[in-house]
Structure 1
Amino acid sequence: MRFGDLLNLVLYNLGRRKGRVALTTLGVIIGTAAVILLVSLGLGLQRNATSQLWGISDLRRIEVYPNYGGGEGGPVAVAIGPGAIGSSSPSGQKLLTPAAIEEIRALEGVEYAIPRNWVGVSAVLKVGRLENYPSLLAVDTDDLAIFDYPLEAGTTRLERGTAIIGSWAARQFYDPRQRPGQEPPPQPDLLNQQVRLVLQKWTQDGQMVTKTVNLRIVGILAESRSEADGALFVRMDEATAWEEWARGQRINRNREGYNMLIVRARDPDRVLELADQINAMGYMASTPQSFVQGINNFYLVLQLIFGGVGAIALLVAAIGIANTMTMAILERTREIGLMKALGATNRDVLSIFLGEAAGIGFLGGLGGVLIGWLGSAMLNVVAITYLASQSQGGPPPTTATFTPLWLPLFALAFATLIGLISGLYPALRAATLVPVNALKYE
C-alpha cells in the first residue's frame, strides 16, 4: 500500500466517527497543554532566577582566598576584613604571594588575576564638617572598569591621589556635631572634589596618632548590591604605604601575601573547572557560578515534577486512545475481514490502525501545543504584572514562563508517540484476525 493511499484511508476512517475521535483527542490536548504550560513555568522561573543573579554577580568571577589553616600547627585565625593589620604565614600555609598569583594567572582560561586587599587601617573620610566611615578597598589595577562595576558618574581610572567611592558610601555622610532634632545636612557633591582621609593608629600607651591624606574623588559607582556599594577604592601602592605607617614596619608581600585575589575566566563554562583547579592548588576559591549550578539543579527537578504531572494526563489520554481503537476494531471486524479477503496483508491492516492511533495523538498534540503556548504567554503577562506590582525595591522580574522552540516540538512528537504506542495492541489484534472468522463476525 502506498503512503498516499494509507494517509487518505486513515483520514477517512478518523472522519467517520468525529464525535468519538474529538473526545479522545481532547484528552491528548489537555495532557499536551499541561506538559507545555508546566514545563514553561519551570523554565521561566529558572531563567528569571539566573538572570537576576547575573545582574548582581559576574558569573565569570572567582574569588580566591589564602588558606590559613594548612600549617602543621593547626588552623590559624587571621583577620582579613577592615581593621586587620597583620597576618600569619607559618610553614605549609598557602598564601597569595606574588609568585602564587603568577601561578594562578598561568592557568589556561584565566583572563586576569588581580589582588585586592581590605586596607587594615582605621580611617574616617571627611568633607568639610561631614564625616563618613567607608570600607577601604585597595586594588592592584589602574582602571576599576576591569571588575565591571557599574559607573554612575566620573571615571574608573585610578591614579595616585585619587579614589572611587561606592553608591551607598557616597550618601552616608553625617555631621558629628549635629544637635538632636536638627535637620540633617545635605549630602556633598563628591565628584572631582578634594576630600580628607584621616588615618588613625594607637601607640603602646594608648595615645591616638592621626595622619591626613588628601584624595580626589574621580568616580562614583552605581548600585551593584555588592561590597563595592559601601567601599572607597584606592590604589594598592598607596594603601600599602598607609598600612606600613600604621604598623611602623615595611610589608613583605612575599611573606604575607594578599587578602584576596579576583580571578576572571574567559569562558563562563570553565569557571567551575578553574575554581576546582585553584582549590586543588591549596587555596580557597568560590564563585557565583556554584550558586547558579545549585539553582539549575533545583529547577531541573522542578521541571521533571511539572512534566510528570502533565505526563500523567497524557497517560490517561493514552488509555482513551487504546479504548477508542479497541472499540473501532469490534465495530469494523467484518470490514477487516473483507480487506484481508481482497488481498490486504497483515502489515497493511497494522499500518492503518497504527496510523489512526498516531493521527489521534498528532491532532491532540497539535491542539495541545497551540493551547499550551497561548496559555504560557497569557500566564507570563499576568504573572509579570502581578509580581511587578508586589516588588519592593530591586529589579522587577522579566520572565514568568519561557517556552523554547524545542518544547512544542518535543510535546508534539511525544503525543504522537503516545498515540502510536496506545494503538499498538489493538492494531496487532486487528492484523492477526482470521479473514473467515472476521467475515462471520456479527
Structure 2
Amino acid sequence: MRFGDLLSLVLYNLGRRKGRVALTTLGVIIGTAAVILLVSLGLGLQRNATSQLWGISDLRRIEVYPNYGGGEGGPMAVVIEPGGKGGTSGGQKLLTPAAIEEIRALEGVEYAIPRNWVRVSAVLKVGRLENYPSLLAVDTDDLAIFDYPLEAGTTRLERGTAIIGSWAARQFYDPRQRPGQEPPPQPELLNQQVRLVLQKWTQDGQVITKTVNLRIVGILAESRSEADGALFVRMDEATAWEEWARGQRINRNREGYNMLVVRARDPDKVLELADQINAMGYMASTPQSFVQGINNFYLVLQLIFGGVGAIALLVAAIGIANTMTMAILERTREIGLMKALGATNRDVLSIFLGEAAGIGFLGGLGGVLIGWLGSAMLNVVAVTYLSSQSQGGAPMTAATFTPLWLPLFALAFATLIGLISGLYPALRAATLVPVTALKYE
C-alpha cells in the first residue's frame, strides 16, 4: 500500500468517528500542554536564577582562603616549612608567596592575585565630609583584571591613588550636621585629592593618627559585591600602613595573605581547579559551585514537572488504546472484507497504527499550541505580579522559558505515545482470520 493511500485512508477513518476521536485527542492535548507548561516553568526559573548569578559574579573566579585548621599550637600557631611554604603543626596552610606561586603553576590558572582586607582603623575625608569605606589592598597595578564594571575614570592603580566603589562614593556625611539640617551634596571624587586618616591607639588609650593623601582615579559601577563599599589601594602601600599601626614589620612568609583571587582560563575547568586547590589543603570556593547546585535543583524540578505531565499522557495513552480497541470491535467485518480483497496483515497493521499515531499527533499539535500560549500568559502574569511585589534586587525578566526543542520533543513524544498505545489493538486487528471476521456480528 502506497503511503499516500495509507494517509488518506487513516484521515478518512479518523473522520468517521469525530466525537470519539475528539474526546481521545483531548486527553493527549491536556497531557502535552501540561508537559510543555510545567517544563517551561522549571526552565524559566532556572534561567532567571542563573542569569542573576552571572550578573553578580565571574564564574571563572575562584576565591582561595588560608586553612587555619587548628592543631596543638592553636589556630594561629604558624611554623615555616622548608622552602618557605606556609604550614602549621596542625595542618594549617597559609597563603604565603611560595604557596601562591605553587597555585599559579597549576594547569588552567590565568592569574592568581593576593587581596587583603586592610586591618587599620581609617576614615576617608573630603573637606568636612567623612566616610568609612572598607579598605581592600590588591597586589596588581590594574583593577581591570578583576572585571569590576567601571563607572568613571581608570582602573590603573599607581602609588598615591585609589579606586572607590559605587556605594562608598555616595556615603559621605557631615559629622557636624545638626538635626533637621539639609544633608550636604555628595562630593565629586574623580581625580580629586582626599585624605585617609589612619588611627591607632597606644597602651594608655591615646589616639595617634596619620594622614595619607590619595587621589581618586576611578569610580566603580554597582556590581552587587564587596567592591561596592570598598576603597581599593595598592598592596605595598596598605602593607606599610598596617606596619605603622602594628609598630612592626609584616613577614608574608609567616603570615601570608587573607585571600587569593584565582581565575581559570576555561569556565568548564573551574570546579576541577577548585578541587585541586582544596586537595592542596587550602579553602577554595567559586560561584560555579552555586550554579551547579542551582542547575541540579532545577533539573530535579523539571523531571518532577515533566513526570506530572507524563502521567497525564499515560492516561491519554489508555484512552487511545481503548478507542482503538472499540474501533476494531466495530470494524471487524470491515477488516475481514479488506483481507478477503487482498489486504495483508502488514496493511491492516499500518492502518490502525497510523490512526493511533494520528490521534497522538493531533493531540500533540493542540497541546503544543495550548502549552505555548499558557506559558506566555503565565509569563506575563507572573512577571507583572512579582515586579509589583519587588522590594529591590534584579527584577525577574521571565517566569517561563520554552526552547525550540521542547515543543518538538513534546509533539514527537505524543505521537510515539499514540503509536505505542495502538500497537496491541493493531496487532489484534492484523491477526484476525478473514472468515471469522466476516462472520462477526
**TM, length-normalised to structure 1:** 0.94
Gaps of 5+ in 1: none
The Cα of 1:352 is off from its aligned counterpart by 1.5
Calculate percent identity across the aligned residue pairs.
95
Deviates more, 1:40-49 or 1:265-274: 265-274
Deviation at 1:7, TM superposition (A): 2.4
Aligned length: 441
Question: Shift of residue 82 of structure 1?
Answer: 31
**What is residue 70 of structure 1 aligned with on the other side?**
70
- Per mean C-alpha deviation after superposition, the further-off stretch among 363-372 and 1-10 is 1-10
1:172 Cα shift? 1.7
Q: Is the 8 A contact 2:85 2:99 kept in 1?
A: no
Deviates more, 1:128-137 or 1:382-391: 382-391
Q: Output one character per residue of 1:352-410: Cα deviation in whole Å (capped at 9) or x when no partner.
A: 11111011101111121122122222322332233223323222211111111111111
Shift of 1:77: 9.0
Of residues 241-250 and 401-410 in structure 1, the stretch that sits farther from structure 2 once superposed is 241-250
Shift of 1:84: 23
- The CA deviation string for residues 127-165 of structure 1, in whole angstroms up to 9 with x for no partner, is 111211111000011111111112222111111100011
Three-state SS of the structure 1 residue aligned to 2:194 is strand
Query: SS at 2:158's partner residue?
Result: coil
Q: Is the 8 A contact 1:123 1:198 kept in 2?
A: yes
State the distance in 2 between where 1:276 and 1:88 align.
Answer: 21
Select between 242-251 and 32-41 the one with higher mean Cα deviation: 242-251
Following superposition, the deviation at residue 240 of structure 1 comes to 0.9
Query: Hey, what's the Cα distance between the residues in 2 that align with 1:29 and 1:55?
Result: 38
- Residues 102-111 or 399-408, more deviating: 102-111
SS for the counterpart of 1:347 is helix
| Cα-to-partner distance string for 1:296-321 (whole Å, 9 max, x where unaligned) | 12211221221122112211211111
Residue 87 of structure 1: how far off its partner (Å):
12
Instruction: Name the structure 2 match of 1:16.
Output: 16
Structure-2 separation of matches of 1:80 and 1:252: 11
Contact 1:85/1:243 (8 A) holds in 2? no
- 1: distance between equivalents of 2:383 and 2:112? 39
Compute the displacement of 1:88 (Å): 8.8
Change (3 A) 1:82 1:38: farther
Match in the other structure for 1:359: 358
Partner of 1:163: 162
State how far apart, in whole Å, the 2-side matches of 1:195 and 1:363 are: 73
Q: 1:81 to 1:218 in 2, by over 3 A?
A: farther
* Counterpart position of 2:31: 31
User: 2 CA distance for matches of 1:367 and 1:398?
Assistant: 27
Q: How far has the Cα of 1:422 moved from its partner?
A: 1.0
Q: Please say if residues 86 and 253 of structure 2, whose CA atoms lie closer than 8 Å, have aligned partners that are also in contact.
A: no
Contact 2:144 2:155 in 1 (8 A): yes
Decide whether aligned partners of structure 1 residues 85 and 7 sit closer, same or farther in structure 2, where only a CA change above 3 A counts.
Answer: closer
Q: Evaluate the alpha carbon distance shift between residue 322 and residue 85 of structure 1 in structure 2; reply closer, same or farther with a 3 A threshold.
A: closer
Partner of 2:371: 372
| Compared CA separation, residues 77 and 228, structure 1 to 2 (3 A) | farther
> 1:136 is paired with a residue of what secondary structure?
strand
Counterpart position of 1:80: 80
Instruction: Indicate how the Cα distance of structure 1 residues 25 and 83 shifts in structure 2: closer, same or farther if over 3 A, else same.
Output: farther
Q: Deviations over 1:79-99 (max 9, x none)?
A: 99999999999x742111112
**Which whole-Å deviations, capped at 9, do the CAs of 1:76-130 have from their partners, x for residues lacking one?**
49999999999999x7421111121122112222221111001111111111112
- Whether contact under 8 Å (1:138, 1:233) holds in the other structure is yes
Contact in 1 for aligned 2:87/2:93 (Cα 8 Å): no
Unmatched runs of 5 consecutive residues or more in structure 2: none
Name the Cα RMSD after superposition: 3.6
Q: Does 24-33 or 344-353 show the bigger shift?
A: 344-353
Tell me what 2:100 maps to: 101
Cα distance between partner residues in 2 of 1:196 and 1:106: 39
Go from structure 1 to structure 2 and tell me whether the alpha carbon gap of 1:202 and 1:136 turns closer, same or farther (over 3 Å shift).
same
Contact kept, 8 Å, 1:165 with 1:221, in 2: the verdict is yes
State the shift of 1:220 in Å.
1.3
| Per-residue Cα deviation, 1:277-309 (whole angstroms, up to 9, x for no partner) | 110110001111111122112211221221122
**3-state SS of paired residue (2:379):** helix
1:248: how far off?
1.9
Query: Does the Cα contact within 8 Å between 2:81 and 2:87 map onto a contact in 1?
Result: no
Specify whether residues 83 and 160 from structure 1 end up closer, same or farther in structure 2 by C-alpha distance, changes over 3 A only: farther
**Cα deviation digits, residues 170-226 of structure 1 (max 9, x gap):** 122222222333332222111111111111122233322211100011111122111
Q: Which moved more, 1:176-185 or 1:426-435?
A: 176-185
Report if aligned partners of 1:70, 1:94 keep a CA contact under 8 Å in 2.
Answer: no
Q: Structure 1 residues 101, 58: closer, same or farther in 2, change over 3 A?
A: same
Measure how far apart 1:28 and its partner are: 0.8
1:155/1:219 contact within 8 Å kept: yes
Is the 1:65–1:96 Cα contact (8 Å) retained in structure 2?
yes
Distance 1:220-1:86 versus aligned 2 partners, 3 A rule: farther
Q: Deviation digits for residues 319-370 of structure 1, max 9, x if unmatched?
A: 1111110111011000111122223222222221111101110111112112
What do residues 30-57 of structure 1 show as CA deviations (whole Å, max 9, x unaligned)?
1111110111011001100111111112
Q: Does the aligned pair in 1 maintain the 2:85–2:98 contact within 8 Å?
A: no
Distance 1:257 1:300 in 2: 41
Q: Structure 1 81/29 Cα, relative in aligned 2: closer, same or farther at 3 Å?
A: farther
Give the direction of change, closer, same or farther, for the CA distance of 1:232–1:332 in structure 2 (3 Å limit).
same
2:348 and 2:430 in contact (8 A); partners too: yes
Counterpart of 2:241 in structure 1 is 242
How far 1:230 moved relative to its partner?
1.1
| 1:199–1:82 CA distance, 2 compared to 1 (3 A) | farther
- The range that moved more, 11-20 or 191-200, is 11-20
The answer as to whether partners of 2:86 and 2:93 remain within 8 angstroms in 1 is no
| 1:111–1:85 Cα change, 3 Å | closer
Shift in alpha-carbon separation, 1:330–1:87, aligned structure 2, 3 A: closer
CA contact (8 A) 1:143 1:158 kept: yes
1:383-440 Cα deviation digits (max 9, x unpaired): 2233223323222211111111111111011101110111112112112212111100
